[in-house]
Amino acid sequence: MSQALKEDVEEGVVFAPRFDAHGLIVCVTVEAATRDVLMVAYMNELALEKTIETGFAHYWSRSRRELWRKGETSGQTQKVLSLRVDCDQDALLLEVDVGGDGKACHTGRKSCFYRALNGDGALVFSADGA
């Protein structure tokens, strides 16, 4: 990136998300009330458009290769309270209110990050099952 372009991207007010070679941008989704990181997913241009247009999070499922309105079947919708972009505009941060039972992860847990690495190099499940 040239210095002038870098300045525009980082210090400008123009929203110019940078999709990768696969047409995707990574998105971190945080629950507004608790600030828990719920999930990391990807959006293509259409998913981002639909998210902005409807006010509800849409993602691109890389495994199913389809647009995915979060909670469409499960009820765990994500109402977008804010959409942020990072300095170089290649990552998004959604702050959401979660619908349904609030379990964002397809495994039935609140957050996808339900395991932490311990000192022995094994994963330990969160005590609260979240």
Residue 113 interacts with its own copies (CB under 8 A)? yes
Measured from the CB of residue 95, what is the shortest distance to its own copies in angstroms? 9
C-alpha dihedral sign at 38, 44, 49, 50: negative
CB 69 within 8 A of CB 50: yes
Residue 33 interacts with its own copies (CB under 8 A)? no
Residue 4 interacts with its own copies (CB under 8 A)? no
Residue 122 interacts with its own copies (CB under 8 A)? yes
Over the window 69 to 108, marking each residue x when it contacts its own copies by CB under 8 A and - when it does not, the resulting string is: -------------xxxxxxx--x-x-----------xxx-
The tokens describing 71, both together, are 């909670």
Q: Which is nearer to its own copies, 38 or 77 (CB)?
A: 38
Q: Tell me whether strands 25-31 and 37-43 are parallel, antiparallel or unpaired.
A: antiparallel
Binding residues for its own copies, how many (CB under 8 A)? 38
Three-state DSSP state, 29: strand
The tokens describing 7, both together, are 């300045």
Please name which of 22, 37, 41, 56 lies closest in space to residue 92, comparing C-alpha atoms.
Answer: 41
Which residues lie near its own copies (CB under 8 A)? 10-15, 26, 28, 30, 35, 37, 39-40, 52, 82-88, 91, 93, 105-107, 109, 112-117, 121-125
